[in-house]
Amino acid sequence: MTITAGHLPAIVALAAGVLILIMPRLLNYIVAIYLIFVGLVGMGLLRWLHL
């Protein structure tokens, strides 16, 4: 399986979910970072992340 920019939001969401389970106090920061990341990927500003 090749990981592309289309897979990145799902991978980040999975990592964020695990972090929230481990450290619930970080919920606000994790959600904020996730939303910024998904917004940047959606706008095409992170095209260099093609793996």
pLDDT given at position 49: 58
Given a contact cutoff of 8 angstroms between Cβ atoms, the answer to whether 31 and 12 are in contact is no
pLDDT given at position 34: 83
pTM, to two decimals: 0.59
Opening angle at CA 29, ends 34 and 36, nearest 5: 30
Question: Which residues in the chain land under pLDDT 50?
Answer: 51
The tokens describing 38, both together, are 């998904």
In whole angstroms, what is the distance from residue 2 CA to residue 9 CA? 15
The tokens describing 43, both together, are 């706008």
